Homo-oligomer: A and B are copies of this chain.
Amino acid sequence: MPITGQLLIGRARVRGQHGDFHAIDARTGEPFGAAFGGATMADLDRACALADEAFDAYRESTLEARAAFLETIGRNIVAIGDELIERCMAETGLPRARLEGERARTVSQLALFASVVRSGDFLDARIDPAQPDRRPQPRVDLRMRSIAIGPVAVFGASNFPLAFSVAGGDTASALAAGCPVIVKAHSAHPGTSELVGLAIQQAVQDCGLPEGVFSLLFTSRRGIGQALVADPRIRAVGFTGSRSGGMELIKIANARPEPIPVYAEMSSINPVILLPDALAQRADVIARQFVASLTLGAGQFCTNPGLVLAVDDHGLHAFERAAEAALAQVPAATMLTPGIYASYLAGIERLEAHGDVERLAKGVAGERLQARAALFATSAEAFMADPSLREEVFGAASLIVRCRDVDALHRLLGSLEGQLTTTIYLDASDGEAARGLLPTLERKAGRIVVNGFGTGVEVGHAMVHGGPFPATSDTRTTSVGSGAIGRFLRPVSYQDFPELLLPSALRTENPLGLTRRIDGVLGRQG
């Protein structure tokens, strides 16, 4: 399938006329392949009009039809074959095994949402039957279900070119909810985006769905993404990226005549707490696990362990020595884009130049555009005194903060902003300290990991990939796992409806076989 650089607008492939740009080879920084044409405002308007037209029909498509559509997308992605992996390797610098794994994750994520759709639990169907004899007033018949919120704009992430991009978690959960999706492709992997976009466009056609269910826009200029969020036909936004980028979209969404929710996953340094007895017992093992997590994928994970908190004792010294030794062996790695590499370098230089920060270790030097992992240390006092030390350095850099005791560590933890994950390493004898920290950990993060790192993000039912601001803009939500569908739903009540007018989810005989809440009690009553 040749990559043409065309926009996908409904069933059409359209040459964007608003400025060309090229894919960049992550290893060389050089442009390659066909040019991508940037979307015009007319292209955007057409995509939004099609999405709005498709909305009422698509949101009432049967659960089976929607589940099959999600599975078809997965099959079509697999059918692209190795072209997808090779293109993605060139655009991102990520290795083959990682991208094959990410493809499998993307497909299984679509399959998970297909199962979520089939179960129908997300409809949250409820019936409070009429009580005509109730005094002083009879009770009406009231039924509730969740419906899709409307067309959704998705901004793909640079760091997961498959699993958090065109057919990633935001798209999968929005489509599962019954929302048409317009994706603004990330310019760091446009060819990958086109290939995956074509797989979705084909699935729309394979499944006989309205063409407006999906569109894909390219742009390398400011304006189109902002206009997409401002368009009155767009009803929610999914975004994964920088804090400044997310905040800009949130500002636009809040300034609309009708504000809409923006689910932005933005910034997290994912503090790791190493309790004294765990360090006393196995500083070496923990250090090796830490360095492996820190340097995975050149550290380009939202859940990368960017901050380590521990009591300054012998155990921590042993941990630091072991981490230094492990890190010094880590080969340099190509980053996703020359821009991300430059930002990483600047972050490292800022830490290296900091008077109160000590550099403990640096990874092996590599080629041009390859980043070296780095480990730093500072004191709790210095950390508390300088807010810049809390800023995320996107990449394989981490800062150890040496605390006087567990209380000092607790205060420091309490001063942090919201996080996607926190990790706590503990031994049985650390139980009391861990119990004391737990309420603060819960206040600060969407996921708390014991004796492991947060870099693996399971796509399941119990996953929360979210957390207090600025980890995400909406702490009530997750962007990974089956709970992600809830972001794109809203409840509607139907009062005293005749059976024939009721949506099938709420008909008395329960034709969909749903688990429903009858007078508050869950069951599968017909």
Contacts and interface: CB of A to CB of B under 8 A. Distances in A.
Interface of A: 56, 60, 101, 115-116, 119, 121, 126-128, 136-137, 139-140, 142-144, 147, 149-150, 250, 254, 258-259, 261, 417-418, 428, 431, 434-435, 438-439, 442-443, 445-452, 454, 456, 458, 460-464, 466, 468-470, 473-478, 482-483, 486, 489-498, 500-501, 515, 517, 519-520, 522
Given A483-B491, A493-B446, A460 B142 contact: yes
Given A254-B254, A464-B492, A456 B137 contact: yes
B462 A144 contact: yes
B491 A144 contact: no
A119 B519 CA distance: 13
A275 to B, nearest CB: 12
A84 B441 CA distance: 43
B128 A461 contact: yes
Most buried by B among A258, A458, A478: A458
Contact of A517 (B456, B461, B463, B475): B461
B259 A491 contact: no
Contact of A258 (B418, B449, B493, B496): B418
Nearest to A434: B501
Contact of A431 (B137, B149, B501): B501
A410 to B, nearest CB: 12
A67 to B, nearest CB: 14
B140 A458 contact: yes
Chain multiplicity (copies): 2
Given A434-B501, A461-B126, A462-B142, A448 B492 contact: yes
Contacts of A495: 447-450, 452, 454
Contacts of A445: 492
Contact of A491 (B147, B456, B478): B478
Most buried by B among A136, A442, A473: A442
B469 A490 contact: no
A431 to B, nearest CB: 6
A520 B448 contact: no
Contacts of A147: 442
Contacts of A450: 494-498, 501
Contacts of A490: 446, 466, 468, 475-476
Nearest to A146: B476
Given A128-B461, A491-B476, A119 B449 contact: no
A29 to B, nearest CB: 32
Contacts of A478: 491
Contacts of A442: 147, 492
Contacts of A258: 417-418, 468-470
A500 to B, nearest CB: 6
Contact of A496 (B127, B451, B474, B522): B451
B489 A476 contact: yes
Contact of A140 (B150, B439, B452, B489): B452
Contacts of A476: 149, 261, 486, 489-491
Given A259-B469, A501-B450, A462 B496 contact: no
A493 B448 contact: yes
29 contacts: A115-B520, A119-B520, A121-B522, A127-B462, A128-B458, A139-B458, A140-B452, A140-B456, A147-B442, A254-B254, A258-B417, A258-B468, A261-B474, A428-B498, A434-B501, A446-B491, A446-B492, A446-B493, A447-B493, A448-B494, A449-B496, A450-B494, A450-B496, A461-B520, A462-B517, A468-B490, A475-B490, A476-B489, A477-B491
